Amino acid sequence: MRLLKSHELRKLYLDFFRGKGHAIIPSASLIPENDPTVLFTTAGMHPLVPYLMGEKHPEGVRLADVQKCIRTGDIDEVGDSSHCTFFEMLGNWSLGDYFKKESIAYSWEFLTSEEWLGIDKDKLYFTCFAGDADAPQDTYSHDRWVEMGVDPSHIFYLDKKHNWWGPAGITGPCGPDTEIFYDTGKPKCCPQCDPSCSCGKYLEIWNNVFMEYNKKADGTFEPLAQQNVDTGMGLDRTIATLQGVESVYDTDAFTGIIAAIEQLSGKSFKADPETTRAFRIVADHIRCSTFILGDHRGVTPSNVDQGYILRRLIRRAIRFAMQLGMPEDSLRTVAEAVIAQYGEFYPELEANREKITSELSKEENRFQKALRNGTKEFERIKNTFPEGKIDGETAFHLYDTFGFPIEFTCELAAENGLTVDMEGFNAAFEAHQKKSQAGAEQRFKGGLADTSVETARLHTATHLLQAALRKVLNDEKISQRGSNITAERLRFDFSFERKMTKEELAAVEALVNEWIQAKAPISWEEMTVDEAREQGAVGLFGDKYGERVKVYTMGEFSKEICGGPHAENTGDLGTFKIKKEEASSAGVRRIKAVLEY
């Protein structure tokens, strides 16, 4: 098995699939466009949904990439040996081209060939879909693995919970998958131990999804117009396997980051379990925060949506940095280590270095203020507990409302001769967590972009809105910093330093409606990035499409790079109405609007 560093695995993977006729596309933004179901890009397939549904991709039918991803459902679990919020997913894609036969052969070759990873085939285990009322047992994948040389005793059939991509309750492309596991060498936890077990013996390293069904709103399945392959290999997890270390935090991807924390704290990473956990939390959260802040869509800490998650990550990192004894304003130094590790492959981090470090410093100052306010609130209420015990609800109120860590509450309580009802606090915390997770499940389930007629019209309206903003405000530097579009409304974030006047908003609204009434046809064509730039197209050049892009033209008023769903004529949009204009974050304004018919 080859001992590779993270940058070597990225290159090797892309080189392999380039040799198999795949176009290499860059990572899309961490902030999804035209996908209200997720706050962040949580899987490699999210930016490619229109193409999985049959739309033509500018780069062809075979693609490969390294996609930046964030999953935040387990923030409170970060600190153990496996959980991370930010991760890189190596993916290869077939859009109606090859299917199971070739996909399995490619995976087997890349994993086991001495020219590539050289993993001992006897260390690999596999799972396939067992079949149910919706779809048959995937005997083809099973038999194909056997053809490749896999011992049948290393292949297991598992149910939809384990071997099906496409969470219940979501419409869109889905299908069975075959997953690849590495035997870590740990003893079996029981005679029935198999890759579905969470004991840690079997580590999933690759997942090949065969998208051949479309789940309809009534819960039934129909064949997709085209059969697709969507694979994902987690870079951190695979590197940990190749390097033979016990956790992703022991790989070269974290070496420089951990070293920076050791220098700042004066502590050793492996001093004791509590210290190790704190190191991991600071390292993970600042790595993730650095990528969010460095993203070209301009997210900064706030109290809503992506900004809320970012604030939570930074403040949790600050809390554990304080626990480690790191001096104030240390997080910017940790972020510098992240940029040093990843900046060459992700140049947006280097380009946004100043923004990243300054925002971390600002948020640290805000959190210190929150701690002071929490301390003031504690002083106000500390004499209101006649039995000398702070109830769990009050302790949780300090945590939830003031961002006051429970450890701080316990310390202040002890200094004042009080105790804390930790059982009550934990109960209140768990109730809050369940409520948050339920909301997250509802929001994050599936993550498939909506391509309905209503959403397509509102998405089209954002093109007109951006063009009108640039014209009315006489500022060609205005650019999209994010959007969230549902079938009912659009939300558009754009770069602008001040609040718009009522007159400016009225002029923008009137101009958009003038263009709608012009009933201009909407057309698109593929071209190179240079051609798009020469034609004056608005857009984030190279973002998620590679060297060839789609440029949508609407009359003489809008020419924009885009990959989302669109109406066929501006006259289909009804009447554009701005509902609200407000600040989104520093230097970014937000407009909420609807189309009325």
CA distances from 261 to 80, 85, 249, 294 (A): 17, 18, 13, 20
The secondary element (H helix, E strand) that includes residue 16 is helix 6-19
Place of tokens 């935040």: 72
Task: Identify whether 374 is part of a domain.
Answer: no
Supply the pLDDT for residue 450.
58
Q: What is the CATH number of the domain that holds 496?
A: 3.30.980.10
Pick the last residue of a domain from 197, 220, 245.
245
Task: Identify whether 370 is part of a domain.
Answer: no
Pick the last residue of a domain from 413, 443, 473.
443
Place of tokens 């049959």: 54
Are 208 and 110 a contacting pair, CB within 8 Å?
A: no
Please state the three-class secondary structure of 162-217 as a single string: HHEECCCCCCEEEEEEEEEEEECCCCCCCCCCCCCCCCCCEEEEEEEEEEEEEECC
Instruction: Tell which residue, 448, 339, 396, 377, has the closest CA to residue 35.
Output: 448
Query: How far is it, in rounded angstroms, from Cα 129 to Cα 125?
Result: 14
Query: How far is it, in rounded angstroms, from Cα 522 to Cα 559?
Result: 10
Half-sphere exposure of 13 (CA within 13 A, CB side): 29
Dihedral (CA of 20, 25, 30, 31) sign: negative
Query: How far is it, in rounded angstroms, from Cα 432 to Cα 437?
Result: 9
Pick the last residue of a domain from 189, 219, 245.
245
Q: Are both 208 and 291 inside the same structural domain? A: no
Place of tokens 């090859």: 98
Q: Are both 240 and 257 inside the same structural domain? A: no
Given 3-state DSSP classes, what are the helix, strand and coil percentages for the chain, each rounded to the nearest 5?
45, 20, 35
Q: Are both 29 and 101 inside the same structural domain? A: yes
Residues 6 or more apart whose CB falls under 8 angstroms from that of 504 comprise 472, 473
Q: Are both 309 and 419 inside the same structural domain? A: no
Query: How far is it, in rounded angstroms, from Cα 40 to Cα 42?
Result: 6
CA distances from 100 to 95, 103, 106, 143, 230 (A): 12, 5, 10, 11, 11
The phi and psi torsions of 325 (rounded to 5 degrees) equal 80, 20
Q: Are both 392 and 473 inside the same structural domain? A: no
Supply the pLDDT for residue 439.
47
Q: Are both 91 and 230 inside the same structural domain? A: yes
Query: How far is it, in rounded angstroms, from Cα 128 to Cα 149?
Result: 16
Supply the pLDDT for residue 96.
94
Number of structural domains (the chain) is: 4
Task: Identify whether 372 is part of a domain.
Answer: no
Task: Identify whether 24 is part of a domain.
Answer: yes
Angle of the 235-243 helix axis to the 252-265 helix axis, nearest 10: 90
Query: How far is it, in rounded angstroms, from Cα 554 to Cα 538?
Result: 12
Q: Are both 48 and 196 inside the same structural domain? A: yes
Task: Identify whether 1 is part of a domain.
Answer: no
Query: How far is it, in rounded angstroms, from Cα 401 to Cα 374?
Result: 9
Secondary structure class of 407 (helix, strand, coil): helix
Per-10-residue mean pLDDT, the chain, length 597: 90 97 93 74 83 86 95 80 89 96 97 95 96 94 97 96 73 89 92 89 94 85 91 93 91 96 96 94 96 88 84 89 92 97 95 95 89 88 92 90 82 90 91 62 44 84 94 84 83 90 95 95 87 82 60 91 85 94 85 93
- Report the DSSP beta bridge partners of residue 588: 495, 585
Task: Identify whether 405 is part of a domain.
Answer: yes
CA distances from 405 to 84, 370, 412, 552, 559 (A): 21, 11, 11, 50, 50
Supply the pLDDT for residue 352.
94
Are 215 and 221 a contacting pair, CB within 8 Å?
A: yes
CA distances from 12 to 16, 123, 318, 412 (A): 6, 21, 36, 53
Q: Are both 572 and 427 inside the same structural domain? A: no
Classify residue 291 by burial, with Cβ atoms within 10 Å: 0-12, 13-18, 19+: buried
Query: How far is it, in rounded angstroms, from Cα 73 to Cα 51?
Result: 27
Q: What is the CATH number of the domain that holds 83?
A: 3.30.930.10
- Report the DSSP beta bridge partners of residue 204: 181
Instruction: Bin 244: left if φ > 0, else alpha if -120 < ψ < 50, else beta.
Output: left
Q: Are both 15 and 133 inside the same structural domain? A: yes
Q: Are both 16 and 133 inside the same structural domain? A: yes
Query: How far is it, in rounded angstroms, from Cα 563 to Cα 584?
Result: 24
Are 170 and 214 a contacting pair, CB within 8 Å?
A: no
Q: Are both 188 and 287 inside the same structural domain? A: no
Residue type present at position 268: S
pTM comes to 0.76
Q: Which structural domain range is residue 391 located in?
A: 382-443
Task: Identify whether 548 is part of a domain.
Answer: yes
Q: Are both 420 and 559 inside the same structural domain? A: no
Task: Identify whether 377 is part of a domain.
Answer: no
Classify residue 274 by burial, with Cβ atoms within 10 Å: 0-12, 13-18, 19+: exposed
Supply the pLDDT for residue 518.
93
Query: How far is it, in rounded angstroms, from Cα 150 to Cα 167?
Result: 29
Instruction: Tell which residue, 528, 520, 579, has the closest CA to residue 550.
Output: 528
